[in-house]
Structure 1
Amino acid sequence: MIRNILGSLVALAGAAAAVLSPFRDWYDGRAGRDYRLRDLFTGITGTGSGVLLSILLPFLVAAVLVVLGVVLRSRLVVAVAGLVVLGFTILWMVRQGQAAGSLAVGGDGVGLQAGVAYALGGGLLMLIGALLMAGRVRRGRAGREPYAPEPYAAPGPDQVDTWPPTQEPGMSTHTSPWPEPEVDPYTGPDPRDPRTRSYPRASRPDRGPGESGDPRDPVQPPSPPSSPPWG
């Protein structure tokens, strides 16, 4: 923004200097508005010219281009205006040198005078202003909003109540890529422990208690023999 303002001021100052230059003396006391625009292409003559048909015309066009370039923020338009002013000024110097045999720089109304300096300075100021200007900003970049990551939203009450997630019947919450280890669903005593090992009972009816082979059956002491009936 600051570059555009500064460049625009410099370019407008150059345009003002270029428009003012034809009203100043250019060579040997002759003002720039007295040179016909056609003489720049055919040769300098002593014939006078109207204001709008003189060298002032391309300078006015350049000034309009500068204003247009400042409004549109176009560096190219401002630069073209500066090249127009410099081009017509240098062309006049070439034709004047051909007509006079040489170009002299002096004072007291002899040789090149202030009008030429105004024209050359105005053209250079236009080019400097075009370089200072930042130009137009593309709409795609200007209208693009900067990326701002959205803050993490805290879990709602419905999410808090259900944490940790409950496991549905038949579903597994295992998230590891490795398979889950197999778990034996048997929760009884260790069958390898001899203290808890069970033995099948014998089906023979002639065995009494404690003779079935099952160590868990209590061993009953033998009953004393009954006395014979004759005793």
Structure 2
Amino acid sequence: MIRNALGSLMGLVGATVAVWSPFRAWYDGRHGRDYRVQELFTAAGITDAKADLLGSLLLPFAFAALLTIGAVLLRSRLLMALAGIVVLGFAVLWMVRQGQAAGRLSVGGDGLGLGDGLASAFGAGALILLAAVVMSGRPRRRDRDRDRDRDLVAGPQDPATAAWPPAPPQDHS
């Protein structure tokens, strides 16, 4: 129970940071919300064209946040891991495409190069994946059935009404 609560909290924090990351600088002071998702998959690559908010990098990160919420509600480690992979995958794909467009990637302390928005996306993806590892998930159906069968065979659990092991039958003839 505590593992699920801790993993859920970690996943929700990671999803929040992932959704927040496009609103921060990704490269040379340009925010992630300025990059179109389509640019990651076309031959033209990354351009200087501005994106609509819902057509920007916010879209895959919002989708990952919805997967995270679904994972929390269903206590699904698989959905949580998938959400982390979506966040990390789009961040890596963006880096590859940006490197192709710019010819190189640089890190600079003066606001040029890779920005803190990208670092937030990587941190969020890693946190969501870690949340999937921490969560215990739902008990498997086989385990629930075994526990139910054990309870049925064991009889009542109230010590005042149950004598265990049961007394042998007595012959009153």
TM-score per shorter chain, which class? 0.7 to 0.9
- Name 2:79's counterpart in structure 1: 77
Partner of 2:161: none
Q: What is the aligned-residue RMSD (CA, Å)?
A: 1.6
1:105-156 Cα offsets, whole Å, 9 max, x none, are 111211001100110011111110001111111232353343435421674x
Amino acid across the alignment from 1:46: D
Cα 1:73–1:144 change in 2 (3 A) is farther
Letter in 2 for 1:144: D
Larger proportion of helix = 2
Letter in 1 for 2:131: G
Match of 2:136 among 134, 155, 173: 134
Residue 106 of structure 1 is matched in structure 2 by: 108
Q: Secondary structure at the match of 1:38?
A: helix
| Secondary structure, counterpart of 1:144 in structure 2 | helix
Q: Which has the larger radius of gyration?
A: 1
- Which structure's relative contact order is higher, taking Cα pairs within 8 Å and 6+ residues apart? 2
**Counterpart of 2:27?**
27
CA distance in 2, matches of 1:134, 1:109: 41
Give per-residue Cα distances to partners, 1:28-82, cap 9 Å, x unaligned: 1100000001111120000001100001100000000000011101110110111
Match of 2:126 among 124, 146, 149: 124
Q: Which amino acid aligns with 2:18?
A: A
Q: Is the deviation greater in 1-10 or in 52-61? A: 1-10
CA distance 1:142–1:44, shift in 2 (3 Å): farther
How far apart, CA to CA, are the structure 2 residues paired with 1:16 and 1:86?
14
**What is the DSSP-based 3-state SS (H/G/I as helix, E as strand, rest coil) of the residue aligned with 1:48?**
coil
CA distance in 2, matches of 1:37, 1:106: 25
Q: Are 1:88 and 2:87 counterparts?
A: no
| Residues 112 and 55 of structure 1: CA distance in aligned 2, closer, same or farther (over 3 Å) | same
Q: Secondary structure of the equivalent of 2:37?
A: coil
Q: Cα offset for 1:100?
A: 1.0
1:144 has 2:146 as partner: no
Distance 1:153 1:18 in 2: 65
Alignment of 1:162-173 (within 5 A): 162=173
The corresponding residue for 1:39 is 39
Report the counterpart of residue 62 of structure 1 in structure 2.
64
SS of residue in 1 equivalent to 2:26: strand
In structure 2, distance between residues paired with 1:51 and 1:150? 68
Cα 1:140/1:31, change in 2 over 3 Å: same
User: What residue ranges of structure 1 are gaps of 5+ in the alignment?
Assistant: 163-231
**Hey, what's the Cα distance between the residues in 2 that align with 1:141 and 1:118?**
43
